[in-house]
Every structure is written in C-alpha cells, then in structure tokens.
Amino acid sequence: MWKFFHHLTSPPHFYRLAATIIPWLAFPGLVLIAYGSYAGLFVAPEDYQQGDAYRIIYVHVPAAYVSIMAYVLMAVGGGCGLIWRLKLAHAVGAAAAPLGAAFTFLALATGSIWGRPMWGTWWEWGDPRLMSELIMLFLYFGYMALRAAIDETAKADKASAVLALVGVVNVVIVHYSVVWWNSLHQGPTLLKKGGPGMDADMLYPLLAMILGFTLVFGALLARRIRTEVLYRERRTRWVRELILAPGGGR
Amino acid sequence: MKPRQQRMLGVGLTALGVAIAAGLTLRSFDENMMFFVDVSDVVAGDHPMERNFRIGGLVVEGSVEREEGSMEMTFRVTDLQCEIGVRYSGVLPDLFREGQGVVAHGLMGADGIFVADKILAKHDEDYMAPEVAESLARHVADQTMELPDGPAECNSQ
C-alpha cells in the first residue's frame, strides 16, 4: 500500500499520470459549464425578488466554492509535505495558490457587482463574510509572496506550508461567518436545513456549474503541478531524458 | 517517537493552537463582528450611544410612509419581537420592500426613532420563480412574518 502510494506520488510518475487525466477533467468540466451557462441564463426562471440579477450566482457560487477548496488543498498539501516529506505535496500547494487567488478574486468581484444594485453597496467594511473572503485573498497573496521571497525551495516549502496551515482556520470562518454573526450576506442556500432553498430549475444548472468549475480547476491544477514538478526536478536524470527524448517534453 | 510522528504532532498542535487562538479572539470581538445590531437589543438599550451603528431586521408590512414631493420617508423595522421606527431620506436599493430584510446605518434619535443615512437591502437564502412565490403566498398567508412559536414578548428597558 505505502509502496504503491510512494510510486504514485513520485514526480516522474505523477508527471505522466497528470498528462493522461487532464483531458478527462477538462472536457467534462467544459461541457458542464456550457450546459450550466445555457440553462442558468436561458432556462432557469427569474427570481421572485431579484428578477434576472440573481443569475450571477452561476459564476459567484462556483468561484467561491473553488476558492475555499483550493485553500484546503493548499493546506493539506503543506501538511502532507511537512509530515511525510512528500515532494509532490509541496508542489501541489505551490501550484494551487495562484489559481485559488484568481477564483477568490472572481468571487469577490461578482459579489460586488451583484451587491451594488441588490444591497445598495459595492462593498461594506466590517461585514464578516466579505472580510473573511478578503482575508483569504490576502492569505493567498501572502503565501505566494513568501514563496517568492525565499530562494531555497526546501525552505520556501516549509515556511509557506506553515502559513497555509495557520490560515486554514479562516476557511471555517468564511463558511460560518453568515451563521455566527449578523451579516449582510444571506445564509447558505444549498446546505440549508431541510434541503436547498431553491427551485429545481435553478438548482441543477448551479450544481452543474459547481462541478464544472471544480473539474476545470482540477485540470488547470494538474497542468500547473506538471510545470512545477518539471522545474523542481530540473536537475534530475528523468527530466533530462524526457527533454532529450525525440519529441521531448511530451 | 519517530521523527515522522513528531512532525505529525507538531502540525496537529499548531493547527489546534491557531484554532483556539482564533476562537478566543473572535469571542472577545463578538460584538464588533456583528455587522448590525438586532432590533431587540436596540430596544433594550444595548447599542452604541452618540455614534453611528447599523440595525437590521424586516421592514414591517404596511409601515412605509413617504412624504409627498420629497425623499423623506419613515418605516418600521422588526426582528419579530420588537419594532423600531426609522426615518430616512435618500435613494433605496432595488430589493428594499415591505416584509423583506433591511440594514440601516445611522444614529439613534432621542425620540426613539432611528435616523438612517444609508439603507441596504438584505436578501434571504431562498430563490424561487415568481409563480412559485405566488402559489406559496396563497397557501401561507404571510410567509416572511411566519413565526414557529408566535411572537415573543418585547422586553424594553
């Protein structure tokens, strides 16, 4: 079991494996996003209060979900890297951070665009949900800056893994911010007690978008991990052989 | 203890320590973490004096009154226990309507009326088609004001 796991997470093996799984993530993901966008914009009925404006949730919710998932992945990668000294685990964290930051920004931006006409404000300082999501963006930035500031990869891995682990408490705060405190942001719709507070015609496109975003994120992440692995292993023999082989680098 | 187990313990203790520290910090800032004060707390006198704060609740049905030819308006806000009057002059967000959530920023007046300088609408977590909302409204006379145990006593100071 351990032997198999070590083989799976060995950089050259994962490098090849990732190339195989990327299309299996990317294409279903894009199909789901295409269906979700069409059904969300044209098939789903308008909301009884917000009219058509609510349709931004088809981007906002999946983006926010992925922003949290990417952070958890980054922290788990950091933890596994620290404990088991897995080379691949640190590479996962390094590859996930910029993607997570991008999705966090997307969630903040779409929320702001929706908030202006619906709430009556672009941004409210002091709102727990808005602030905790913003702090998550800064955690991503801090993680990337810390990595960039330390030249030695092993040291950068350790320091940034600790930062990622410390920041993981914020993930819990983001999720429960609307439950624990008064917030302008509405409570959870999908994980609401007694089932999702949403019509099925609205719900299915949203679920498709969430799954689609997740799969596309997985494909992008796998691609970034490949690059990261290649760079980290640039002095090893398997990379040299890979590059020098006919049709090198494929 | 093996080095790996030591590292495992280190990571676990770090996570635990941070969680406890964050928990304690958030507890002590609990009131400041609240984006708005509940109407009941305001009525009980548990709110900042002489400085701006936010109140949140539902706009009472039929309470919105506008002055002819001006932006002045008054309405009442409830948390289904207590009510409070709000005076406001300005532009309202799209979602502002009777029976829906609202957050008002302003000062508590001496006359017990909250003078707002900014009104934000708060949306709930339910999404549905207009037809569904209509049919729901037919079955439940007043869905937004529905209470599981009936209205509770409002304790003013």
For residues B118 and B50, state if they share a domain. yes
CATH topology of domain A27-44+53-221: Four Helix Bundle (Hemerythrin (Met), subunit A) (1.20.120)
**Does residue A226 register a pLDDT over 90?**
yes
The residues in A 178-237 lying below 8 A from B, measured between CB atoms, are 180-184, 186-189, 192, 197-199, 201-202
Residue B152 included in any domain:
no
Residue B149 domain-assigned (yes or no)? no
Quick one: pLDDT at residue B140? 57
- Judge if B88 and B118 occupy the same domain: yes
Q: Same domain, yes or no, for B16 and B39?
A: no
Q: Does residue B55 sit within a domain? A: yes
Judgement on whether residues B123 and B111 belong to the same structural domain of the protein: yes
- Reduce the DSSP state of residue B116 to 3 states and report it: strand
- From the list A47, A119, A188, the residue facing B127 with the nearest CB is A47
A80 reaches B (C-beta below 8 A): no
Residues B44 and B10 in one domain: no
Both B60 and B14 in one domain: the answer is: no
Does residue B20 share a domain with residue B93?
Answer: no
In a domain, B128, yes or no: yes
Q: How confident is the model at residue B143 (pLDDT cuts 50, 70, 90)?
A: very low
| CATH code of the domain in which B119 resides | 2.40.50.140
Q: Rounded to an integer, what is the distance from CA B50 to the centroid of its chain?
A: 20
**Lowest mean pLDDT, pick from A30-39, A142-151, B22-31:** B22-31
Write down the pLDDT at residue A163. 95
Q: How many residues does chain B have?
A: 157
Work out the minimum CA distance from B90 to partner chain A, whole angstroms: 12
CA dihedral over A69, A73, A75, A76, signed as positive or negative: positive
Asked if B43 and B27 sit in the same domain, the reply is no
More confident residue, B76 or B50: B76
Separation in Å, CA of B6 to nearest CA in chain A: 8
pLDDT reported for residue B157: 53
Q: How far is A220 from chain B (nearest CA, A)?
A: 28
| Number of structural domains chain B divides into | 2
- Contact assessment for residue B84 and residue B77, using Cβ atoms and an 8 Å cutoff: yes
Domain that holds residue B11: 3-31
In this structure, of A74-78, A89-93, A181-185, B129-133, the range with the lowest mean pLDDT score is B129-133
Residue B24 corresponds to which tokens in the numbers above?
Answer: 């304690």
- Kindly state the tokens that stand for B91: 């532009």
Q: Please name the residue that has the structure tokens 């001496």.
A: B110
C-alpha span between A96 and A14 (Å, rounded): 16
Decide: A127 and A184 in contact? Cβ < 8 Å: yes
Other Cβ atoms less than 10 A from the Cβ of A216: the count is 20
* Mean pLDDT (whole number) for B60-86: 87
Tell me how far apart the alpha carbons of residues B35 and B133 are, in angstroms, rounded to a whole number: 29
Q: Dump pLDDT digits (tens) for B88-125.
A: 988 888 888 888 889 999 988 888 889 999 999 988 77
Q: What confidence score (pLDDT) does residue A249 get?
A: 54
What is the radius of gyration, based on Cα positions, of chain A? 20
Q: What value does the mean pLDDT take over residues A124-147?
A: 93
Q: What are phi and psi of A137, to 5 degrees?
A: -60, -45
Eight-state DSSP code of residue B49: S
A195 class by beta-carbon count within 10 Å (0-12 exposed, 13-18 middle, 19+ buried) = exposed
> Same domain, yes or no, for B78 and B8?
no
Partner-chain contact A45 B131, CB within 8 Å: yes
Secondary structure of chain A as H, E, C letters: CHHHHHHHCCHHHHHHHHHHHHHHHHHHHHHHHHHHHHHHHHHCCCECCCEHHHHHHHHHHHHHHHHHHHHHHHHHHHHHHHHHCCHHHHHHHHHHHHHHHHHHHHHHHHHHHHHHHHCCCCCCCCCHHHHHHHHHHHHHHHHHHHHHHCCCHHHHHHHHHHHHHHHHHHHHHHHHHHHHCCCCCCCCCCCCCCCCCECHHHHHHHHHHHHHHHHHHHHHHHHHHHHHHHHHCCCCHHHHHHHHCCCCCC
Same domain for B100 and B76: yes
Identify the weakest region by mean pLDDT among A111-115, A224-228, B109-113.
B109-113
B84 and B19 share a domain?
no
pLDDT mean across residues, chain A? 91
- Provide the percentage of residues in chain B whose pLDDT is more than 70: 87
Q: What angle do CA A160, A164, A170 make, to 5 degrees?
A: 150
What pLDDT is attached to residue A46? 85
Which residue from A100, A244, A84 is spatially nearest to A171, judged by alpha carbons? A100
Least confident range from A50-64, B124-138, B142-156: namely B142-156
User: How many angstroms separate the CA atoms of B42 and B156, rounded?
Assistant: 9
Q: Looking at the structure, tell me whether residues B38 and B26 fall in a common domain.
A: no
